[in-house]
Amino acid sequence: MIVCVAVVGHQNNPVFLQSFTDSDDALKLHHIVHCSLDVIDERVNNPKKSGPTLNDTFLGVLYPMDDCKVYGYLTNTNVKFIMVTTDTDLKDGDLRSFFKDLHSAYVDAVSNPFHIPGKKITSKSFAERVSSIVKSFGSGSTF
């Protein structure tokens, strides 16, 4: 179950945040996303591996907590996608395709000439696309 999806700009400014549960801890989700930004920064500045994996976009598990995991994805322009989920076992391929779909939706939203770079994404169609991607992610992984 995906709990929330967030998009953070290259100056660590929040561009989009959407939670998919009805629980009231939206603040807790904000906090989790904020903490995971630190993990991303430290991964980017001190790479463990060098060579071809240095500029990889998918960052993997950022922050395992007791009930949920946080996954990160970094684009070429330093825009970060963060996903918090309560699922315990997720396949790498599923995650990568999820982030790829999210990236496509993000590029389409940014290509909007009325979108000001750096401000929050206010497009309703982007929010709908993200919701449909999240829904199809959950059902796609079960047989």
Total residues contacting other proteins by CB under 8 A comes to 17
DSSP letters, the chain, are: -EEEEEEE-TTS-EEEEEE-S--STHHHHHHHHHHHHHHHHHHHHS-SS-GGGTT-SEEEEEEE-SS-EEEEEE-TTS-EEEEEE--S---HHHHHHHHHHHHHHHHHHHT-TTPPTTSPP--HHHHHHHHHHHHHHHHHT--
Least distance to other proteins, CB of residue 138, Å: 24
Least distance to other proteins, CB of residue 10, Å: 8
Q: Is 43 in the site for other proteins (CB under 8 A)?
A: no
From the list 103, 120, 123, 141, which residue makes contact with other proteins (rule: CB under 8 A)? Answer: 103
From the list 11, 23, 111, 139, which residue makes contact with other proteins (rule: CB under 8 A)? Answer: 111
Contact residues for other proteins, defined by CB under 8 A: 10, 55, 57, 74-79, 103-104, 106-107, 110-111, 113, 117
